[in-house]
A and B are shown apart, each in its own frame.
Chain A
Amino acid sequence: AQSVAQPEDQVNVAEGNPLTVKCTYSVSGNPYLFWYVQYPNRGLQFLLKYITGDNLVKGSYGFEAEFNKSQTSFHLKKPSALVSDSALYFCADNSGTYKYIFGTGTRLKVLA
C-alpha cells in the first residue's frame, strides 16, 4: 500500500541555522514525491517534486530535498532558515496516479 510518513509533528530551529523536515515513503512501484507548504488560513503551495533524475531537487524559496532510495526518504532541507519559513509542511506521493497521498504534516517554527 502507498503511504507517506512524517515522523515529527513539529520542528524548531533558530533563524540562520540549517533546517531539515523528514519524510519517508512506502510505495510498491516508483515514487513520485512532492513537498508542499501551508501558511495559516491558506491552501497548500507546491515547493518541489522528485519524479526521476538527480537525487537532489531544488525548489522554491531556497528549499531543496534529497531523495534516498535505500532509506526510502525524501527529506526537505534549507541551508539557512528564515522566520518567514515558519509554516506547516506536507510531503506527498502519488506513485504516478491520480491519488496523491499526503503525510500528516510537520509544523516548522523558526525562532528569531
Chain B
Amino acid sequence: DAGITQSPRYKITETGRQVTLMCHQTWSHSYMFWYRQDLGHGLRLIYYSAAADITDKGEVPDGYVVSRSKTENFPLTLESATRSQTSVYFCASTGGGPYTGELFFGEGSRLTVL
C-alpha cells in the first residue's frame, strides 16, 4: 500500500514560474493538508481540505492555490514562485475526525526558487 505520495521530491525553479506540487493518497481519507516547513517556524498550514471540492485557507495561504476535484488528489500550485517560497512542503491526510485522528505525512517536496 503506497499511502501518501508527493511529487516531485525535489524541484528547482526560477522566480516567476508556475510550479505544481502533487499529492496523492490511497486511503480515501477525507481530510488533506499542505504544510511548509522552514527553520525556526516549524510547520505552517497553507491550505486544507475537508472533502472533494471543499478547501480553506490556513495560516500562510498567500501565493498558493489548491484544488481538490478527486478525494485522493490535492495539488498545490505556486502561480508565480518567489524566493520566499523556497521551503520543504509536506502533504498530510487523516481519515478520522480531525479532532482525534493523527495526520499521515508524505515524504515532502523540497522546492528551491532561484
B42 and A51 within 8 A (CB) = no
A97 and B42 within 8 A (CB) = no
Near A by CB (< 8 A), chain B positions 36-53 give 40-45, 48, 50
Bound-state CA distance A43–B90 (Å) is: 7
Tell me which residues across on chain A come within 8 A of B102, comparing CB atoms: 34, 46, 49
Cβ-Cβ contact count across A and B, 8 Å cutoff: 61
- By beta carbon, the residue of chain B nearest A42 is B107
User: A104 CB to closest chain B CB, in angstroms?
Assistant: 4
Tell me which residues across on chain A come within 8 A of B74, comparing CB atoms: none
B106 and A97 within 8 A (CB) = no
Bound-state CA distance A44–B92 (Å) is: 9
B42 and A98 within 8 A (CB) = no
A104 and B42 within 8 A (CB) = yes
Which DSSP category, helix, strand, loop or mixed, fits chain A's interface?
loop
Interface size for B (C-beta < 8 A) is: 26
A41 and B99 within 8 A (CB) = no
Bound-state CA distance A104–B39 (Å) is: 8
A103 and B100 within 8 A (CB) = no
A90-B42, A104-B40 known; A97-B105 Cβ under 8 A:
no
A98 and B50 within 8 A (CB) = yes
A51 and B105 within 8 A (CB) = no
Bound-state CA distance A98–B57 (Å) is: 11
B99 and A102 within 8 A (CB) = no
The interface bits of chain A over 31-48 (1 if a CB of B lies within 8 angstroms of the residue's CB, else 0) are: 010101000011111100
Bound-state CA distance A36–B103 (Å) is: 9
A96 and B99 within 8 A (CB) = yes
User: A38 CB to closest chain B CB, in angstroms?
Assistant: 8
- Chain A residues with CB under 8 Å of chain B are 6, 32, 34, 36, 41-46, 49, 51, 90, 94-105
- Chain B residues with CB under 8 Å of chain A are 4, 31, 33, 35, 40-45, 48, 50, 56, 58, 90, 92, 98-100, 102-108
